[in-house]
Structure 1
Amino acid sequence: MAGLLPLDEAQARLLALAEALPIETIAVAEAGGRWAASDIIARRSQPAADLSAMDGYAVRHMDLPGPFRIIGESAAGKGFPGSPGAAEAVRIFTGAAVPEGADTVIMQENCAREGDTLRLTAQPPAPGRDIRVRGSDFSEHALLVARGARMTPAAIALAIMGGHGTVPVHRRARIALISTGDELAAPGAVTGPHQIPASNGPMLAAMLRSTGCDVDDMGVVGDDLDSIKGAVDAARRHDVILTIGGASVGDHDLVKPAFLACRATLDFIKVALKPGKPLMAGRLANALVLGLPGNPVSAYVTCFLFALPLVRKLMGAATPLAPVLPLPLGAAMPAVGNRTEFIRGKIEDGRALPFRNQDSAALALLAEAAILIRRNAGAQAVPAGTIVDTLRLD
């Protein structure tokens, strides 16, 4: 554990500690934001029959340009029972089944009807025009949602359209959140000159809940070894024990001693990362432990880079790390030291524009940030226009 662990290695080691939680089957309508625990396969084709994409008239293309005799109609949910013969047409509405034998739909705007007679008023349509062919969206037995994919709103609709009323997902992860620090006051409380409002806990709780996990915010614990140890002991039933603050090596940084006193095994304690070097991870019985730094920006960035991927892995995500978005720089950037840096910024005119102020306690600019710009350890200075890796924060 000596020295600084490279960022990518630290992320890989943390994720290697995690195994997906047990599987449960739930109503697909309740699966939003969860991750599919197995492939979701179509039990039906969509559409299940050839359907009209327009209001108009179903005909045989060989009979164009007509005229046609109208012999009935087909509406959504109530099709036409017969089939058109020579020079015959069936009035049809959007979403209705195309009668057997018909192979083309004439848009109603392109024809004129007089009683039961239909005449074309525009160029004849191509064969198969304005028909949604059976299975054109997906066919029975097709893969709809892959194992490890997130159940987005569209994925929920797709699973339902594929014939599913329930889906298997991994159990929600249970996260215990412990803030440490004598200087922390409750949100909204009047603060003295040596106090600050405890904003990190609610901030990280909101970030974590975006994954669909359950967060138990256990509040603030003072800089006292027995108090921190007691809070950690009380959180053992959770899947992850996440602490904020006290992760460095000062006299009042007591999270590591508390973890060790509770018989936790730590995998690493420092990462070559800016902001966020003091970061530790390991295991305590059946729980994973993750100690984050207390500066607000450091807490945010390390939660984004470590805690969120960890929770996604526990809940079955196939790709738990945030996706990389390459963008050209909107301004020159200096050389980087011996730690990988994540620079807060925004996207302006399609370019990654870094903020000038990168203080790890500056919350105002963090609230404005849309991206983190990754600059690898040892990287040289680069001019505007250089393509860099970014991570979106939305």
Structure 2
Amino acid sequence: MPLLDLEEAQRRLLAMAAPTQGETIAVEAAAGRYLAAPLLAQRTQPSDPLSAMDGWAVRAADMPGPWTIIGESAVSHPFAGDIDAGHAVRISTGAIVPPGADAVLVQEECRRDGDTLHFEGTPPDPLARHIRPRGLDFTEDAVLLDAGARLSPAALALAIGGGHGTVPVRRRPRVTIIDCGDELRAPGEPLGPGDLPASNGPMLAAMCGELPCDVTRRGPIGDEREALITAFGAADDADLVITSGGASVGDHDLIRPTLESIGAELAFWRVAMKPGKPVMVARRERQIVLGLPGNPVSCFVTAFLFALPLIRAMNGCTAPLPTRQVMPIRGSLGPTGKRAEFIRARIRDGAAEPLRLQDSGAIAPLAMADALIIRPAHAKSIQNGAEVSIFRLYG
């Protein structure tokens, strides 16, 4: 089976993803979830013209005054009447502008003499500058958020401001993570010769846990087909199974033959990327199985480029892939080979600085990195200051 380009592999994977079913939940419990349907405003915001300043509400036609003060409009306590010629009302920021008024004078430019108001400043330009008109933010039945939008903190505020106490969202995908390898030991366990702490499972769980999904971890599991069959059987209700390790071609790499033995259909295997070539994708009835490499860096990079976009797509996200940015490089990089390369880097003063150690088993530089420099296959050497494409890993 030939190596796939990254973009083609991602396209094939996302084409397999079906959004989970919709459900309606309390808006205050919906932070980070993805909308299953467009969200329409149930009210107009603001519902009345409001003052944007502390000052005085007057008729613009009466400029430059003076005016007779007839009352006050405060937040939640609007002035009860209309403003007629020559009248002024004291007004607070956020208070309703009384009918008849079409200008607000800021208080610092006014002087009160008993019940008389004098204006001593420059008229606002335009005269309605300090008034927020009805519907400035949105109007009833306007689309506040499209289907597939993620409810960020600001989007959550918009939904609530639009009058919603509940919102339609996608069910959280069920994700099972299985880390495989005879050499793996649970975190904190004593290590014998050749043993390694099983870091991939917790790392993948943490990465997936930043998105709306319910994560179950199984493992570490040794390189035994029966143990793997049992683990897959216990994950029957998962929408997505992510494995780490065992996806290559060695004698102890049992993920592919195990999947074939339980009736899974291989979609593709191996991607032209470094690190991370032995990525495997299979379907088992409605379930997607994503096999990732066992080296920690390879596992992280492929999870970032495949697992996280897949979980976003299952949540109904309309743009699930990470966004590329362009910035200068600090340092230099040699030519690439037949595979695209993803260089761990740090962002410093607006430039991407490649980390010295790029070995796929080195966790320390991975923990220091906050970006991946994207190097196409067959690229030429680049020098300090050249522009490169990057993926930001966080934020």
TM-score by length of 1: 0.97
Is the contact between residue 233 and residue 262 of structure 1 (CA under 8 Å) also seen in structure 2?
no
For residues 297-316 of structure 1, the aligned pairs below 5 Å read: 297-316=297-316
Q: Secondary structure in 2 aligned to 1:303? A: helix
Structure 2 equivalent of residue 168 of structure 1: 168
Gaps of 5+ in 1: none
For residues 1-394 of structure 1, the aligned pairs below 5 Å read: 2-126=1-125, 127-394=127-394
Q: Secondary structure in 2 aligned to 1:57? A: strand
Please report how far the alpha carbon of residue 367 of structure 1 lies from its aligned counterpart in structure 2 after TM superposition.
1.1
C-alpha distance in structure 2 between counterparts of 1:153 and 1:123, whole Å = 39
C-alpha distance in structure 2 between counterparts of 1:369 and 1:18, whole Å = 29
Please report how far the alpha carbon of residue 125 of structure 1 lies from its aligned counterpart in structure 2 after TM superposition.
2.5
Q: What are the superposed Cα offsets for residues 164-204 of structure 1, whole Å, 9 maximum, x if unpaired?
A: 22211111000011011111111122222321211111111
State the percentage of identical aligned residues.
53
C-alpha distance in structure 1 between counterparts of 2:269 and 2:129, whole Å = 64
Residues 228-237 or 274-283, more deviating? 228-237
- Counterpart code for 2:258: A
Is the contact between residue 36 and residue 149 of structure 1 (CA under 8 Å) also seen in structure 2?
yes
- Counterpart code for 1:118: L
- Counterpart code for 1:290: L
C-alpha distance in structure 1 between counterparts of 2:262 and 2:89, whole Å = 77
C-alpha distance in structure 1 between counterparts of 2:259 and 2:86, whole Å = 83
C-alpha distance in structure 2 between counterparts of 1:111 and 1:363, whole Å = 65
Residues 186-195 or 175-184, more deviating? 186-195
Please report how far the alpha carbon of residue 225 of structure 1 lies from its aligned counterpart in structure 2 after TM superposition.
1.2
Please report how far the alpha carbon of residue 140 of structure 1 lies from its aligned counterpart in structure 2 after TM superposition.
2.3
C-alpha distance in structure 2 between counterparts of 1:33 and 1:301, whole Å = 23
Q: What are the superposed Cα offsets for residues 201-236 of structure 1, whole Å, 9 maximum, x if unpaired?
A: 111101001111110011211111111121112111
Is the contact between residue 236 and residue 284 of structure 1 (CA under 8 Å) also seen in structure 2?
no
C-alpha distance in structure 2 between counterparts of 1:27 and 1:221, whole Å = 39
Q: What are the superposed Cα offsets for residues 67-89 of structure 1, whole Å, 9 maximum, x if unpaired?
A: 21110111111211111112211
C-alpha distance in structure 2 between counterparts of 1:123 and 1:237, whole Å = 69
Question: How many residue pairs align between the two structures?
Answer: 393
Q: Secondary structure in 2 aligned to 1:311? A: helix
Please report how far the alpha carbon of residue 384 of structure 1 lies from its aligned counterpart in structure 2 after TM superposition.
2.5
- Counterpart code for 2:163: G
- Counterpart code for 1:345: A
C-alpha distance in structure 2 between counterparts of 1:135 and 1:331, whole Å = 52
Q: Secondary structure in 2 aligned to 1:356? A: coil
C-alpha distance in structure 2 between counterparts of 1:152 and 1:260, whole Å = 40
C-alpha distance in structure 1 between counterparts of 2:185 and 2:115, whole Å = 80
Residues 135-144 or 290-299, more deviating? 135-144
Is the contact between residue 35 and residue 148 of structure 1 (CA under 8 Å) also seen in structure 2?
yes
